Amino acid sequence: MSVINSCWKSLVKNIKVKTGWIIFKAIKDNFTLATFTLCLVLTCRAHAASLPSDECLPDCTSSASHQPKSASISLQDSIVSAISISPEMAEIRATMDVDTAKISESKGAWLPQVFVNGASRDLVSSDNQDTESYGVSVSQLLYDFGRTTNTIKQAETTAAADTFRLQASLNTIAEKVTLLYVRANRYQKLIQVAEENIASLRSVEKMATLRAGAGLSSSSDVLQAQTRAIAMQTSLEEFRYQHVLAMRQLAILTGINAVSLSSIPEVFNTPLVPFNTDDYDTLPAVKAALTDKKSAEYGVDRAKAGHMPSVSLRADHSYGQNGSSSESSWDDHITVNVSVPLYQGGIVSSQIEQAQGDVLGAEARVNQEKMDAKQRIDSFHDDWVGAIARKTNSEQQLKAALKTREVYRNEYTLNARSLNDLLSVEQDVFQAEQAVTSATFDVEQAAVSYSINTNTLLKQLRIEP
């Protein structure tokens, strides 16, 4: 928008100078919108090309980017944005629209069916007579022993199952976004840890330089400190690469190119809520499978109704004329039709067997979904417990390493400890800090996965589907 405003002002200024405002106004009033827009775009391009590169760069960069930029974005906003642009959500919404149409189609069987009939034909006879007839007929289904009712119920349960699949898809999208969010924060923290370790190594290098200058140690100590700092710089660049990669993947999912991320909500650092066996029926995937089973059961009832008769009412209002005479008349008829299937070649029996097979398949999917959910929930709970233990041990290790480093620094200053000992403890400190960071985010990652699989993540983040 800023580019267009700038180009517009330049266009107005140039026209005022060269041709005057009156000519510009006449062009603006008489040109069609499309023609005027084309002229404006061409002039803006020419104006942008004439600007210095440093003047055009900010606007050009912002207009070329397809993703809005944000200084910082929270986890909640990331999830909401990802859901709003997800193609998977659009596909499910389209499927739900189809389900609604199928429900309306099934209910239409209970509504009157109106037809307009007309015919004109020659009779194959010696006198070449012909007849004409036309009229209106109305047919109303009265009773079919549950065939239509079960068709409607089956369509409604199918729509309900797709609703549960929608909830499962929401959880899947939220899981992808949250895990990337945790990953990006993990490497952001590791970058900070590496930078602090490099700064500590530089201070060691400075001490070694001073000692070498005073003749208290050899110049090889300086080289060793520099080598260790360079090696740590390599680790830092790896962490930066992983952070950029996670941020780019997050930008693709959310459509927002954030400069930084807010901190991870504290809800993921609280103890996990136990998940009971009875709660498995509340999971979206299990509820969808249960609803599919119910839909299959309605299919069995609908198929069995194929053996039963159907009763309908038909009313006709028709006009007929015989070509051999001028007589014509309107006739009104009301009839009750009863259709009783006697033999259909085994079609209905086959349909019943297919529907019963669908019930068995749906029941197996219910059991499979419960089994998979139990495995995942138990696994992520164990991951969380293990990460908590690693975090506790790593914190103790870090505390001991920091204390040892302080002692070694003092002893190195007093020439009571070698540089190799000091560099070794610097490495111990870095490894302990890295272990604490990894364990901390492992706890959060396990908590996120546990919340997803127990269907509580969106509720914890106060995101209403």
Choose among 304, 366, 343, 362: nearest CA to 150. Answer: 304
Bridge pairing between strands 69-73 and 257-261: parallel
**8 Å CB contact between 132 and 120:** yes
Q: Is the pLDDT of residue 59 over 70?
A: no
Q: Is the pLDDT of residue 201 over 90?
A: yes
Residue with tokens 């986890």: 75
Choose among 239, 255, 245, 243: nearest CA to 73. Answer: 255
Residue 296, pLDDT score: 94
Longest dimension (CA), the chain: 137
Per-residue pLDDT tens over the stretch 319-333: 876 655 556 778 888
Per-residue pLDDT tens over the stretch 72-101: 899 999 999 999 999 988 888 899 999 999
Q: Is the pLDDT of residue 41 over 60?
A: no
Confidence grade of residue 371 (pLDDT, cut at 50, 70, 90): very high
C-alpha to C-alpha distance for 157 and 147, rounded to whole angstroms: 16
Per-residue pLDDT tens over the stretch 408-447: 999 988 888 888 999 999 999 999 999 999 999 999 999 9
Choose among 237, 239, 232, 233: nearest CA to 185. Answer: 239
| pTM to 2 decimal places | 0.74
7-16, 144-153, 366-375 — which is least confidently predicted? 7-16
